[in-house]
Amino acid sequence: MMSPLALLLALLLLSAAGYFIGRRKALYAADKAGGPNMLHSRPNYYGVLTALWCCLPAFFLFILWLAFEQSIITSLMVADLPPGLRNLPQERLSLFVNDARNLASGNIVSGEITAEMRAAAAHYVNLQGIGKMIAGVTVLVVAIAGMLFVHRHITPELRARNQVERAIMALLIFCSTIAIFTTIGIVLSVLYEAVRFFQQVPVTDFLFGLKWSPQMAIREEQVGSSGAFGAIPVFAGTMLISGIAMMVAVPIGLMSAIFLSEYANKQVRAVAKPLLEILAGVPTVVYGFFAALVVAPVIRAGGSQLGIDVSSESALAAGLVMGIMIIPFVSSLSDDVINAVPQSLRDGAYSVGATRSETIKHVLIPAALPGIVGGILLAVSRAIGETMIVVMAAGLSANLTANPLQAVTTVTVQIVTLLVGDQEFDSPKTLAAFALGLVLFVVTLFLNIIALTVVRKYRERYE
């Protein structure tokens, strides 16, 4: 009986051996044919090819086994149960099977332990052992068979390099699709819960409703709180705070980028650019403190001196601090794209007697615009998805208002409050979080698509 880890190690050792065997065989074959130059590929490629044939098929087999091990063994165990048990209703049977499995692995069992259960558990352990043995032997046999198969085929004419390169390309493709499939997986899981939400609350009510009050009566006799799931106030809050943040971040970020790339000398730049980027490294939770404990009281005090009533969790405070947080995104990306504008364009502008500011306004910014717009839209996505600052500094009540001095709530804040703590997953209150998440995802996705399109369109025009 072999544990999976030992099996993997054995596979690795076999592959290493395969490498040397394949390489030696290739050199030997070449010698017979008249020198190492007769080989189609360098000897190492024959070694790698042998190692790949040794480990890849065996590894896939191993993965397959891991994936299906439990269901195969369980069905075998069920087949061997006494007929009285086998004919139980479906739920009872699966409860029994679960208990037997738990008993086998030493976990807590739901009911009392019967003799039948003990027998089933012992049988399960037994089957598991046999299964592991068979799997281990099969995997090793496949590995050795693969190795021998290539070994037999190694001749000077074998195009080992092409095959190895194809395998490497497959690996690269696999890696690059991981991100895509993860995204699809995330979307599907959110979509699944959101659909469950929309079965209970109509889509139109959610998308166009003006009242957000997700509290629902859990027990029949509870008072009030029938629940209202109109998402407009929540999204309006997100837009308001993001809008304030962008009004802070875009001008400041862009201007600091222009200063850094065109006006600052090397020493200033060497100090200022990293300092600015440190802003991006401050944890958002710290920005949250700053917003809630420093900025909000200051705005409130300033407001009361002017005789304006400012909420202590105003959208303005959260937006301002979020804007500060986003500055390095805008400035760093813009600085990079402005720097990437070829020196020859600056020379061209200076050579016709343009001043530095004319050069920046009329030549550099237009040339760098696609990158700048892309950076800004990326920053918008970031602002919309930002959670910690608004959780700490924005309010919880969903006000539909455009007044930045009032408290508003955002999508992310609502998702957090809906999901924090013990929740039941079949009430619309909890499921609403997924619907909000889905819409948020769609919105940021669209922003990113627009950003990419803008960048591509202008790039065609300018190069």
Partner 1 sequence: MQEVLKKKSAEKRILAPRESRKTIGNINVQNPRMVCRNVDVYYDDKQAIRNVSIDIGRNEVLSMIGPSGCGKSTFLRCLNRMNDTIDSCRVTGEILFDGKDIYDSSIDVVPLRAQIGMVFQKPNPFPKSIYENVGWAPKIHGLVESKAETDELVESTLQKAGLWNEVKDRLDQPGTGLSGGQQQRLCIARAIAVSPEVILMDEPCSALDPIATAKIEDLIDELREQYTIVIVTHSMQQASRVSQRTAFFHLGDLIEVGTTENIFTKPSHQLTEDYITGRYG
Site for partner 1 in 358-377 (CB under 8 A): 358, 362-363, 366-367
Instruction: Find the distance separating the first CA and the last CA of the chain, reported in whole Å.
Output: 64
Decide if residue 456 touches partner 1 (CB under 8 A). no
Decide if residue 350 touches partner 1 (CB under 8 A). yes
Task: Indicate which single residue of 345, 416, 419, 447 sits in contact with partner 1 (rule: CB under 8 A).
Answer: 345
Minimum distance of partner 1 from residue 256's CB (angstroms): 19
Contact 300, 312 (CB under 8 A): yes
> Nearest 5°: phi and psi at 407?
-80, 135
- Alpha-carbon distance of 205 to 428, in angstroms, equals 13
Q: What are the C-alpha distances in Å from 98 to residues 82, 92, 125?
A: 16, 10, 13
Minimum distance of partner 1 from residue 315's CB (angstroms): 39
Instruction: Give the nearer residue to partner 1 in terms of CB position, either 17 or 345.
Output: 345
Task: Indicate which single residue of 35, 36, 202, 348 sits in contact with partner 1 (rule: CB under 8 A).
Answer: 348
Helices 411-419 and 428-462: angle between axes, nearest 10 degrees:
150
Site for partner 1 in 123-162 (CB under 8 A): none
Decide if residue 272 touches partner 1 (CB under 8 A). no
Site for partner 1 in 228-267 (CB under 8 A): 265-266
212-213 and 228-229 beta bridge pairing? antiparallel
- Alpha-carbon distance of 135 to 2, in angstroms, equals 9
Task: Indicate which single residue of 342, 421, 422, 424 sits in contact with partner 1 (rule: CB under 8 A).
Answer: 342
195: its two tokens: 């659909």
Per-residue x/- mask for partner 1, residues 297 to 336, rule CB under 8 A? ----------------------------------------
Binding residues for partner 1, total number by CB under 8 A: 25
Instruction: Give the nearer residue to partner 1 in terms of CB position, either 23 or 346.
Output: 346
Half-sphere exposure of residue 71, counting CA atoms within 13 Å on the CB side?
5
> Which residues lie closer than 8 Å to 40 by C-beta, 6 or more apart?
156, 157, 158, 159, 160, 161
Task: Indicate which single residue of 13, 301, 347, 457 sits in contact with partner 1 (rule: CB under 8 A).
Answer: 347
Minimum distance of partner 1 from residue 372's CB (angstroms): 14
Residues that bind partner 1 (CB under 8 A): 265-266, 339, 342-355, 358, 362-363, 366-367, 461-463
